[in-house]
Amino acid sequence: MELIFGLLVISYLGVAVYYYIRWNSIPMIENKPSNLKLPISLIIPVRNESNAITSSIKHLLSQLLEHDELLIINDHSTDDTEEQVFKIIHDLADNRIVYHSLTIEEGKKAAISLGVEIAKNEWISCIDADCDSHNDRLEELRMTIENTGANLIFGPVLIKGKSYWTDFQQYELSALVGIGAVSNHMGFPTMINGANMSFKRSVFKSVGGYAGNEQLATGDDEFLMKKIAEIAPGSIYFLKSKKGFVFAEASPGIKELIHQKRRWASKWNKGNNATPALLVFLFYVGIIGCMGFLMFRQNWGFLFAGFGVKMLADFIFIQPVISLSGSKMRFFSFLFSEIVYPFYAIIIGILANFGEYKWKERNHKV
3-state secondary structure the chain: CHHHHHHHHHHHHHHHHHHHHHHHHCCCCCCCCCCCCCCEEEEEEECCCCCCHHHHHHHHHCCCCCCCEEEEEECCCCCCHHHHHHHHHHHHCCCCEEEEECCCCCCHHHHHHHHHHHCCCCEEEECCCCCEECCCHHHHHHHHHHHCCCCEEECCEEECCCCHHHHHHHHHHHHHHHHHHHHHHCCCCCCCCHHHEEEEHHHHHHCCCCCCCCCCCCCCCHHHHHHHHHHCCCCEEECCCCCCCEEECCCCCHHHHHHHHHHHHHHHHHCCCHHHHHHHHHHHHHHHHHHHHHHHCCCHHHHHHHHHHHHHHHHHHHHHHHHCCCCCCCHHHHHHHHHHHHHHHHHHHHHCCCCEEEECCEEEEC
Residue 167 sits in the same domain as residue 296:
no
Is the model's pLDDT at 174 over the cut of 90?
Answer: yes
The pLDDT confidence band at residue 1, using thresholds 50, 70 and 90, is: confident
Residue 48 sits in the same domain as residue 182:
yes
Percentage of the chain exceeding pLDDT 70: 93
Per-residue pLDDT, 266: 67
- CB 110, CB 102: distance < 8 Å: yes
Is the model's pLDDT at 31 over the cut of 90?
Answer: no
Residue ending a domain, among 253, 287, 305, is 253
Is the model's pLDDT at 169 over the cut of 90?
Answer: yes
Per-residue pLDDT, 14: 96
Residue 180 sits in the same domain as residue 279:
no
The structure's pTM equals: 0.91
Is the model's pLDDT at 150 over the cut of 60?
Answer: yes
Please name every residue paired with 97 in a beta bridge, in sequence order, or none if there are none.
Answer: 70
Per-residue pLDDT, 143: 86
148 within a domain of the structure (yes/no):
yes
Residues in the chain: 366
Per-residue pLDDT, 33: 60
260 within a domain of the structure (yes/no):
no
From the list 261, 257, 241, the residue with the least C-alpha distance to 249 is 257
Is the model's pLDDT at 235 over the cut of 80?
Answer: yes
Residue 167 sits in the same domain as residue 273:
no
258 within a domain of the structure (yes/no):
no
Residue 49 sits in the same domain as residue 143:
yes
Mean pLDDT over residues 285-289, rounded? 93
CA distance readout (Å), 79 to 50, 51, 85, 106: 7, 10, 12, 16
Compare 320 and 106 and report the one with higher pLDDT.
320
pLDDT single digits (tens) 250-282: 888 888 888 887 777 766 666 555 677 788 889
Is the model's pLDDT at 317 over the cut of 90?
Answer: yes
Is the model's pLDDT at 366 over the cut of 80?
Answer: no
pLDDT single digits (tens) 292-314: 988 988 999 999 999 999 999 99
Residue ending a domain, among 253, 280, 295, is 253
Per-residue pLDDT, 89: 93
Residue 197 sits in the same domain as residue 273:
no
Residue 137 sits in the same domain as residue 238:
yes
From the list 322, 145, 343, the residue with the least C-alpha distance to 254 is 343
What letter represents residue 240's amino acid?
K
CA distance readout (Å), 206 to 203, 224, 230, 270: 5, 11, 12, 22
202 within a domain of the structure (yes/no):
yes
- Angle (CA) 217-49-238 rounded to 5° is 60
261 within a domain of the structure (yes/no):
no
- Angle (CA) 350-316-15 rounded to 5° is 60
Pairwise CA distance, residues 239 & 228, whole Å: 17
Mean pLDDT over residues 150-172, rounded? 93
Of 30-39, 87-96, 263-272, 278-287, where does mean pLDDT reach its minimum?
263-272
Please tell me the total count of domains within the chain.
2
184 CB-contact burial (10 Å; exposed 0-12 / middle 13-18 / buried 19+): buried
358 within a domain of the structure (yes/no):
yes
Residue 274 sits in the same domain as residue 229:
no
Per-residue pLDDT, 149: 86
Residue 131 sits in the same domain as residue 196:
yes
Domain CATH code at residue 157: 3.90.550.10
- CB 288, CB 294: distance < 8 Å: no
Residue 144 sits in the same domain as residue 181:
yes
Of 18-32, 51-65, 167-181, 227-241, where does mean pLDDT reach its minimum?
18-32
The pLDDT confidence band at residue 35, using thresholds 50, 70 and 90, is: low
Identify the domain containing residue 319 by its residue range: 2-23+267-365
From the list 250, 144, 135, 150, the residue with the least C-alpha distance to 199 is 150
Residue ending a domain, among 253, 275, 309, is 253
Chain-wide mean pLDDT for the chain?
89
Residue 212 sits in the same domain as residue 335:
no
